[in-house]
Chains A and B, each alone.
Chain A
Amino acid sequence: MSADLSLFNREAALLVQEYPELEHVMIQGEIPFVHGQLLLKDEEGDLITEYSIRMEPGPDYPNWFPWVFETGGRIPINIDWHIFENKGNCCIASAPEEALICRKGITLTSFVRFQVIPYFFNQLHRERMGFFLNERSHGNLGHLEFFMEEFETKDVSIVIKLLNEARSRKEPKSNSRCICGSKRKYQKCHRSAVRKIAALTNMELDHYLKIANDFISDRKVPKEDSITNF
Chain B
Amino acid sequence: MANCDHLFSKYNDEIRIGSKKNGRMMDSKNALRKRIRKWFKDNHPEYEPKFFIQGSYKMKTGIRTKDDICDLDDGIYFFRKPDVTGTTLQGWIWDAVNGYTDTDPEHRKKCIRSIFAGDYEIDHPVYYKIDGVPYRIAVKDAEFENSDPKEMVDWFNKKKDKEGRLIAQVMNFKGWCDHKRNKMPSGLAMTILASNAKSKIVLNERADITLRDILKEIKKALENKFECIVPAVPGDDLFASYDQTRKKNFMDALSDFILDADKALQEDNELAASKLWRKHLGDRFPLGEDKQQNQSQSRVNSAIITGAATSNPWGK
Closest A residue, CB atoms, query B305 = A133
When the two chains form their complex, are residues B312 and A135 in contact, meaning their CB atoms are under 8 A apart? yes
Tell whether A19 is near chain B: CB-to-CB under 8 Å. no
Nearest-CB distance from A155 to chain B (Å)? 20
Min CB–CB distance A117 → chain B (angstroms):
7
* Nearest CB of chain B from residue A23's CB, rounded to whole Å: 23
Whether A94 pairs with B303 at a CB distance below 8 angstroms is no
What residues on B are CB-neighbors of A118 within 8 Å? 307-311
The answer to whether B301 has its CB under 8 Å from any CB of chain A is yes
The SS class assigned to the B binding surface is helix
Residue pair A121, B200 in contact (C-beta under 8 Å): no
Please encode chain A, from 127 to 144, with 1 for each CB lying within 8 Å of some chain B CB and 0 for all others: 111111111111100100
Which residue from B204, B306, B310, B314 sits with its C-beta under 8 Å from A91? B314
Q: Residues of A contacting B309 with CB < 8 Å?
A: 118, 133-134
Contact with A along B290-316 (1 / 0, CB 8 A): 000001000111011111111111111
Q: Are B316 and A230 in contact (CB under 8 A)?
A: yes
- Residue tally, chain B, CB below 8 Å to A: 32
* Least Cβ–Cβ distance between A68 and chain B, in angstroms: 11
Q: Which residues of A contact B1 (CB under 8 A)?
A: 129-130
Interface centre among A42, A79, A117, A132 (most CB of B within 10 A): A42
A93–B1 Cα gap in the complex (Å)? 25
With known contacts A127-B204, A130-B209, A131-B266, A117–B307 Cβ distance under 8 A = yes
Q: Look across to chain B and name the residue whose beta carbon is closest to the beta carbon of A132.
A: B313
Given A76-B200, A129-B265, A130-B1, CB of A94 within 8 Å of CB of B304: no
Asked whether any CB of chain B lies closer than 8 Å to the CB of A122, the reply is yes
Which of A42, A74, A138 sits near B202, CB closer than 8 Å?
Answer: A74
Chain A's closest residue to B264 (CB) is A130
- In the bound complex, residues from chain B placing their C-beta under 8 Å from that of A124 are 304, 307-308
A selection of 24 A-B contacts at a CB cut-off of 8 Å is: A40-B307, A42-B303, A48-B300, A48-B304, A74-B202, A78-B200, A82-B314, A84-B316, A91-B314, A91-B315, A92-B311, A92-B314, A93-B312, A97-B314, A121-B306, A121-B307, A121-B311, A124-B307, A124-B308, A125-B308, A129-B301, A130-B1, A130-B208, A132-B313
A-B interface, 8 closest residue pairs, ranked by CB to CB distance from nearest: A121-B307, A82-B313, A42-B303, A118-B311, A130-B265, A121-B308, A122-B308, A122-B311
